[in-house]
Each structure stands twice: as structure tokens, then as C-alpha cells.
Amino acid sequence: MKLYNFANATNPRRVRMFLAEKGIEVPMVTVDLMKGEHRTAEFLARDPAGRLPLLELDDGSFLSESVAICRYFDAIQPEPPLFGRNGREIAEIEMWQRRAELELYLPISNAFRHSSPAAKALQPVQVAEWAALCRERAAECMGWIDARLADRDYLAGEMFSIADITAFCALGLGTNTRTIEVASDLENLQRWRQIVGERPSATA
């Protein structure tokens, strides 16, 4: 088994953080997105969409999509549970994983792709007006995650989960690329970010 990875990309980071939480080690192969190595014939033969992360299984087949790769490892090794243990937890975590993904990560990612000169290669047609709407939406989402965290340790409740990984990596993308700022008055969000950032998995 091996994981095609790039240190500086957000989706591979989500999987690395998940694996670190599980204590699972998987051999990694670097595919340098900046050098366009995901566009080589060799890589496209593995994944026609040319995306990272990509998991190569021992039977030679491939699995794409960060959360799908995480679910694969979760099925192999359920502990610690990062997708929930019973119907209610599973649903609650899926709800917050989706919100973190659709309301925070996607807007931040779109704001970056549609406004940063550095993203021009990824997104040749950049729509500034769309980037502005996405920034607003991300700010709005940070507001209600902050409210949510007023009386909870983690997004889906008392248990650290995949939802926290998605939101944490999304904010990392947003602030590292200076696409967004996390307002200093969002104290719950700031506190949560600090606590998650102290987990050993945060540097995976």
C-alpha cells in the first residue's frame, strides 16, 4: 500500500492528520503539484483526474478522495473512532464534517483559487466576484462554528472527529495563503484551533 502525497496540499494533509490520529503508518510517495507531476502520463495512468491524495492498494487498485481514503482506514482500524460509534454519533459527525467541508473548506478553497496569483495555474479563469462571495461565506461559517464551540470541545461534541480535521486544515489553507483571517473576537474558534494545533497529528 502507498499514499501519493504532497506536503503542501490541504487534502493530503487531511489524510495524514487522520492517519496520525489512528497511529497508522503508510509509505508515502511525493507527487510535486508545483512541478506538475500530477499531470504526467505516469500519474494520470493511476488516476485520470490527476488528484491527490491517492491511495494505491496492494491489489494494484486505487482509491481517491480524502474522506473515502479515511473511511477505508477507519474500516480496517476502528480505534480511535473518528467517524462515530453509533447511529447518533455517526450522523452528528457526518453533519459537521459536511458543514466543515461545504461551508468552510470549499468557500476558503474557492476564495483562494479565484483570487490568488499563486492559484492561477490551478484555476486559469479566476472570478473575483465569486472569490468575494466565498470569503463572506467563510466568515459567516466561522461565526457559527465559534458559537457552536461555546459549550463544546469539538465540532461534533465531546469527541475529536474527522469534522475537526477538515475544519482545522481548511483554516490552515485560509491563513497560510492569507485568503482569510480568523477574527480575534472569535474566541471559541481561536481556543479550539489552539487545542487542535497542539495535537501531535497537527504537524503530520
Binding site for its own copies (CB under 8 A): 48-49, 63-65, 67-69, 71-72, 75-76, 86-88, 90-92, 94-95, 98-99, 102, 106, 125, 127, 129-130, 133, 144
Of 102 and 183, which has the nearer Cβ to its own copies? 102
Of 7 and 147, which has the nearer Cβ to its own copies? 147
Residue where the block lists cell 469534522: 163
CA 116 to CA 14: how far, in whole Å?
Answer: 22
Radius of gyration of the chain (CA): 17
3 state SS of 88: helix
Retrieve residue 123's grid coordinates: 484555476
CA 30 to CA 28: how far, in whole Å?
Answer: 6
Q: How far is the CB of 114 from its own copies (least distance, A)?
A: 8
Q: How far is the CB of 80 from its own copies (least distance, A)?
A: 17
Q: Which helix (H) or strand (E) holds 179?
A: none
57 DSSP 8-state letter: -
Q: How far is the CB of 61 from its own copies (least distance, A)?
A: 9
Of 86 and 184, which has the nearer Cβ to its own copies? 86
Q: How far is the CB of 58 from its own copies (least distance, A)?
A: 11
Q: How far is the CB of 154 from its own copies (least distance, A)?
A: 16
Quote the Cα angle for 116-119-120, to 5°: 100
Residue where the block lists cell 461534541: 157
First to last CA, the chain: 18
Of 46 and 71, which has the nearer Cβ to its own copies? 71
Of 107 and 202, which has the nearer Cβ to its own copies? 107
